[in-house]
Structure 1
Amino acid sequence: MPSSHLPHKIVLIAFDGAQMLDITGPMDVFAEANTACEESGRPPAYEIVFAGPRVGLIPTASGVELNAKVSFFDENLVADTLVVCGGRGARMAADDAASIETIGKLVDRAKRVVSICTGAFVLAATGRLDRHRVTTHWKYCDTLARRFNAIEVDADAIFISDGKYFTSAGVTAGIDLALALVERDLGRPIALEVARELVVFLRRPGGQSQFSAQMAADASAVDPDRFAELTRWMADHLSDDLSIDALATRVSMSPRNFARRFAAALGMPPGKYAQALRMDAARRLLTDGEVPLAIVARRCGFNSLETMRLSFQRHLKVAPQDFRARFHHRGAPSRAAMV
């Protein structure tokens, strides 16, 4: 924190038709961090400002209107952390030259710049994300990549940090990113207190997939409950034998019949499902801990470290050690962004 104890100014900007949780989710995280600071005898860490294209009520996609006390066109507006919130209005604002020029100037003056969901379209339109890695809501990743081909879009991550730029996936991922920023700024105990107050996990790792293996399977499944007990067991026994023969024996079916029925019910073969479970688990361990790579491979059921390396290269186009370098979180507060 600055020696003068001046609060770090967070400006959240949104447009007509914004996704309300993109605004209120991170805003509540920062507000609860202030409360936690005060309860521990510290001054409030953040000054929180909501800005719109004009002063007054800004309609959200849910129909609720939020009151912007300042316009982001105000020449006197400055932000230590600038947060661009997503929604239909953000995607439309990416085509508005006046908005993009103004936001570009705010970006240049800010110490830290954040986009929530499709707020990434606005930042990309300013050109400031060129040659940076970013993410957004899974539904719009391909569109973002096609429209702004100078940026590198990671369609799978929950949130990404690259330099002073922080981008998150859709909706609730903004809460994950805000909690990660609080942990950087104020330390783990404050972030944990905020998470407890909001009844959420302290932090889903940024490198965690936007979809777990189970969610991906459910999305294409015809009968997701058909093997629910088995898939729960698989997730808890990744280092066991998850071959078709072993799984078929567990459910008292012939291997051929089991493989056919599993694929029909869940939309993917048993082997592919087991591989996805193992990849999910490995990503979590690499992101959130210091477990050696060989032990990660063994715990997650890969036959060897080389097998895990090949799986990461095939599915994520990155080696496990490079994935850890990108996403590993050590929990130490970073004062730089708060000064």
Structure 2
Amino acid sequence: MSKRIGILVYPRFQVLDLVATTVFELANIITGKALYQTTLLSEQGGNVISSSGVPVASEAFGQQDFDTVLVSGWMEPVRSTPGFNDFLRAASAASRRTASLCTGAFLLGQAGLLDGRRVTTHWWQARELQHAFPKARVEEDRIFIKDGKIWSSAGMTACIDLCLALVEEDHGAELSRQIARKMVVYHRRSGGQSQFSALLELEPKSDRIQQALTYAKENLRKALSVDELADAAHLSRRQFSRSFRLETGQSPARAIEVLRVEAARAMIESGNHSIDIVARESGFADPERMRRAFVRAYGQPPQAIRRAAREAAAA
């Protein structure tokens, strides 16, 4: 039996959130079964103008028998109407899951669905969300969060990660992986992963420096000398060192440490590996060097981050 997915839209909603429908569409195509049926819903029905000016057709609020309710986000702040809030509350109560995409979390809050819940949103709006809904627990550096029947995702393309997780919960990891491959996206960022990426933060300008950084990220267990990175970039050592600092504002050694810390934190937050194993797999020579790098990057040692991750999971 198909699971009915209701996606709530409104004037000026973020049109990128409609990529969520592709995840469910591909689940149907890959399996050859009607696993999901998606419906766009709005208060008045008819065409709804998105943030980009592109209109989309929608059905008016009515029946509430949805397996999952998704609330789209916005580019500019919107205020939901009493009718929107009433429908969202009723539909959420009747559904198995309710999820916000990006800044759609504000609309969950306006409907009174965030009290006592862990929630995330686009990092740019996270503190405003916490201020607006102080009874919620906003975690601004998460890709997505599941708290009971309430799910929420970070900004923009993080809606794909959330929807892949929904499919995985319903039909297993293998189908979710196949969908990710079809969509040419990474399968899949874990909910606890940071919204930020070291590679994005470094922002290399040339393909050669990008190639060296990609090589480094894929080979963190190696020593990764400047000569090895220069070879990966097909540059001389002198050219590489000069170009690297000009493009990223950092030395190669500092950038590699940032990549290692990011990889180590992901392992610590998403698994039960010992600190010794994490240090080895992420390329630190020993746990003490990793501890010092964590303190420089996050102001706290790996053990504190592990405790925080476990407490969040328990909550």
Give the TM-score range, shorter chain: 0.7 to 0.9
Gaps of 5+ in 2: none
Q: Are the counterparts in 2 of residues 117 and 170 from structure 1 also a CA contact under 8 Å?
A: yes
State how 1:1-339 maps to structure 2 within 5 Å.
Answer: 6-23=1-18, 25-37=19-31, 39=32, 43-71=33-61, 74=62, 76-88=63-75, 91-94=77-80, 96-218=81-203, 228=210, 231-241=213-223, 265-268=247-250, 273-286=255-268, 291-305=273-287, 308=290, 315=298, 318-320=304-306, 323=309
C-alpha spacing 1:228/1:179, structure 2 compared with 1 (3 Å): closer
Q: Could you tell me whether the CA contact under 8 Å between 1:84 and 1:115 is conserved in 2?
A: yes
The alpha-carbon deviation at position 125 of structure 1 amounts to 1.9
Q: Is the 8 A contact 1:239 1:299 kept in 2?
A: yes
Does the 8 Å CA contact 1:16/1:60 hold for their aligned counterparts? yes
> 1:112 Cα deviation (Å)?
0.7
CA deviations over 1:239-291 (Å, ceiling 9, x no partner)? 455799x999x9756xxxx7x99666424566653332113212444566675
Greater shift, 225-234 or 182-191, is seen at 225-234
RCO higher in structure (CA 8 A, sep ≥6): 1
Distance across 2 between alignment mates of 1:175 and 1:306? 37
Structure 1 pair 232–279 and aligned structure 2 pair: CA distance change class (3 A):
same
| Shift, 1:182, TM fit | 0.6
- One-letter code of the match for 2:50? T
Alpha-carbon separation, structure 1, partners of 2:229 and 2:180? 38
Tell me, what secondary structure is at the counterpart of 2:152? strand
Q: Return the alpha-carbon distance in structure 2 between the equivalents of residues 284 and 17 of structure 1.
A: 35
Provide the aligned length of Structure 1 versus Structure 2: 306
CA distance in 1, matches of 2:209, 2:16: 34
Q: Identity over the aligned pairs, expressed in percent?
A: 33
* 1:34 positional shift: 2.2
SS at match of 2:102: coil
Unaligned runs of 5+ in 1: 1-5, 328-339
**CA displacement at 1:208 relative to structure 2:** 2.4
* C-alpha distance in structure 2 between counterparts of 1:116 and 1:298, whole Å: 36
Q: Structure 1's 294 and 164: CA in aligned 2 closer, same or farther, altered over 3 A?
A: farther
Helix, strand or coil for the counterpart of 1:238? Answer: coil
CA spacing shift, 1:252–1:312, aligned 2, 3 Å:
closer
Structure 1 length normalisation: TM-score? 0.75
Question: In the alignment, is the contact (CA less than 8 A) between 1:308 and 1:320 conserved in 2?
Answer: no
How far apart, CA to CA, are the structure 2 residues paired with 1:209 and 1:180? 16
- Stretch of structure 1 that moved more, 279-288 or 168-177: 279-288
**TM-score relative to the length of structure 2:** 0.80
**What amino acid sits opposite 1:67 in the alignment?**
A
Q: Deviations over 1:42-78 (max 9, x none)?
A: x52223221012110111122221111232xx3x323
Residue pair 1:312, 1:319 contacting (<8 A) in 2 also: no
Root-mean-square deviation over aligned CA pairs: 3.6
Q: Distance in 2 between matches of 1:135 and 1:152?
A: 8
Distance 1:297 1:87, change over 3 A: same
CA distance in 2, matches of 1:130, 1:306: 41
Displacement after TM superposition at 1:312 (Å): 5.9
* Offset at residue 108 of structure 1 (A): 2.4
For residues 291-310 of structure 1, give each alpha carbon's deviation from its aligned partner in whole angstroms, at most 9, with x where no partner exists.
Answer: 55431221113354466567
Structure 1 residues 272 and 163: CA distance shift in structure 2, 3 A? farther
Q: Could you say what secondary structure the match of 1:67 adopts?
A: strand
- Work out whether residues 268 and 305 of structure 2, in 8 Å CA contact, stay in contact via their aligned partners in 1: no
Distance 2:290 2:146 in 1: 25
